[in-house]
Amino acid sequence: MRFNRNTIEAMDIRYRGNFVNSLSGIKSANIIGSVDTQQQFNAALFSSVVHIGANPALLGMISRPDSVPRHTLENICNTNHYTINQVHTGIYQQAHHTSARSLRDESEFEFSQLTPEFFDDFPTPFVKESTLKIGLTLKEIIPVKSNGTLLIVGEVHTVIVPEQALLDNGAIDHQTLNTVCISGLDTYHSTHFLDRLNYAKKDRAVSSI
Amino acid sequence: MRFNRNTIEAMDIRYRGNFVNSLSGIKSANIIGSVDTQQQFNAALFSSVVHIGANPALLGMISRPDSVPRHTLENICNTNHYTINQVHTGIYQQAHHTSARSLRDESEFEFSQLTPEFFDDFPTPFVKESTLKIGLTLKEIIPVKSNGTLLIVGEVHTVIVPEQALLDNGAIDHQTLNTVCISGLDTYHSTHFLDRLNYAKKDRAVSSI
């Protein structure tokens, strides 16, 4: 089937939401932890975490515009810190629950039955139940003019990961963590190791390591 | 285990590359198709495609700086068009092969054994072997000051998807497409349907649809 700009624009709003959100594939699912200036903890599911750079270690994520209240965005702007907590098969339902609308004085940690956890002097809650936890300091908030969304860029300050998930080459074994991914707005996928491939060169075939 | 900014900075460059590239989780894998002004076709694997907005339908992806030759980035700037082609279990090795370094007059389509395919008047090659193909027009190239990378934002112009993969609610069933994901720089994962969850509300438990 083929769709073009006009047929996409003519779709019912919820149908279009499902369709367009599916185009970006099966995506990394993360719970963003933040805290407001009243020490109210916030947790929110994002499916837009993306690699920006390795040195310095930078991660990005897309936030909707601040024209409506966005507690996560507000908190990050106010405190300069946030956490990224990987979703796994054991917590994907709680992770999904954090996407519910809530008032400023309600904590998604509570109604989603997730536990805030703190390490040392890092001022923002991690999700205790997550197995890959990243604490970040805000570097940049970059507006996307086309639709008013924002690219939030943070520098990695702290990483907490189980020793058995760290491979000899430095990579994290997401199968050990039972990492879950998301497609569209509401569909969760488990993942299975398929292959690891050698450094690609144009004159030789790709092969497994 | 815990890592901080200093221990990450002190890692060996390849170890750090594997480590930091793993932090963003298991990510969407896509082949970006483009063409230069000499009609040379280019294909390149990206793991940073991200949802920007549904109306207008916008997708983003991160490109490394243009301080070294980046054929994909150059081609997009010169022609204003590119394609995003979803990677599935049948083509992940060819997709990985496109990441090999090549000269300007060499086409990754050729040495990766992928087939350029054209539809109507869209000026840029799709990947024939991909089952979810998206043609985009360039909207914005946004610099990330922290490290010189660029967020490329495109508007969806054309989508080609098998009818049997389109669900009644507009979502695309990535399991029908055998969509593959990538973690780190070289590890491929197959995906399996886990659950679809209802719209989250704070006062009710999350449940399957």
- 8 A C-beta contact, residue B76 and residue B152: yes
Which residue from B52, B146, B161 is facing A153, i.e. has the nearest CB?
B146
Q: What is the ipTM of this complex?
A: 0.96
Q: Is residue B94 within 8 Å of residue B129, measured between CB atoms?
A: yes
Output the pLDDT for position A16. 98
Write out chain A residues lying below 8 Å of B60, CB-based.
62, 144, 151
Residues of chain B contacting residue A177, judged by C-beta atoms under 8 Å apart: none
Q: Per the structure block, which two tokens stand in for A112?
A: 């989603």
User: Are the Cβ atoms of B192 and A190 closer than 8 angstroms?
Assistant: yes
What is residue A123's predicted lDDT score, i.e. its pLDDT? 95
Residue of A nearest to B143 (CA): A142
Q: What is the DSSP letter of B206?
A: -
- Give the residue from chain A lying closest to B137, CA to CA: A5
Biggest CA-to-CA distance, chain A: 60
Interface contacts (A, B; CB < 8 Å): 369
On chain A, the residues whose CB falls within 8 A of the CB of B126 are none
Q: Which residues on chain B are in Cβ contact (under 8 Å) with A188?
A: 194-197
Tell me, what's the pLDDT at B48? 96
Helix boundaries (H) for chain A: 5-9, 13-23, 71-79, 92-97, 108-111
Residue B51: closest CA among A19, A36, A77, A109: A19
Nearest to A87 by CA among A101, A69, A99: A99
Are B19 and A134 inside 8 Å of each other by CB? no
Tell me how far apart the alpha carbons of residues B197 and B183 are, in angstroms, rounded to a whole number. 25
| Residue predicted with more confidence, A203 or B139 | B139
Q: Residue B172 and residue A183: Cβ atoms within 8 Å? A: yes
Are the beta carbons of B145 and A140 separated by less than 8 Å? yes
What are the E-state strand segments in B105-169? 116-117, 126-127, 133-143, 150-160
**From the list A20, A101, A139, which residue is nearest B54 (CB)?**
A20
Token pair belonging to A37:
């200036």
B15 SS3 class? helix
* Residue-level pLDDT at B102: 84
More confident residue, B158 or A100: B158
Residue B13 burial by CB count (10 A; 0-12/13-18/19+): exposed, middle or buried? exposed
Residue A66 has pLDDT above 70, yes or no: no
Per-residue pLDDT of chain B (209 residues; tens, 9 = 90+): 999 999 999 999 999 999 999 999 999 999 999 999 999 999 999 999 999 999 999 999 999 886 666 889 999 999 999 999 999 999 999 999 999 888 878 889 989 999 999 998 899 999 999 999 999 999 999 999 999 999 999 999 999 999 999 999 999 999 999 999 999 999 999 999 999 999 999 888 899 99
Q: What is the arithmetic mean of pLDDT over A37-66?
A: 94
What CA–CA distance (Å, rounded) separates B130 from B87?
Answer: 6
> What pLDDT is stored for residue A83 in this prediction?
98
Q: What mean pLDDT value characterizes chain A?
A: 95
Closest CA to A133 of A85, A204, A179: A85
Nearest CA in chain A to B86: A25
pLDDT score of A87 more than 90 = yes
CA distance B156 to B206: 32
Any B CB within 8 A of A29 CB: yes
Residue B25 region by backbone torsions, left for phi larger than 0, else alpha for psi between -120 and 50, else beta: left
Torsion sign over Cα B23, B24, B29, B32? negative
Percent of chain A with pLDDT over 70: 98
- Ranges A87-96, A100-109, B135-144: which has the least confidence: A100-109
Q: Do B161 and A1 touch (CB under 8 A)?
A: yes
Contact (CB<8Å) B101/A18:
no
With residue B75 as reference, give the H or E element that holds it: helix B71-79
| Residue B121 at interface with chain A, using a CB cutoff of 8 Å | no
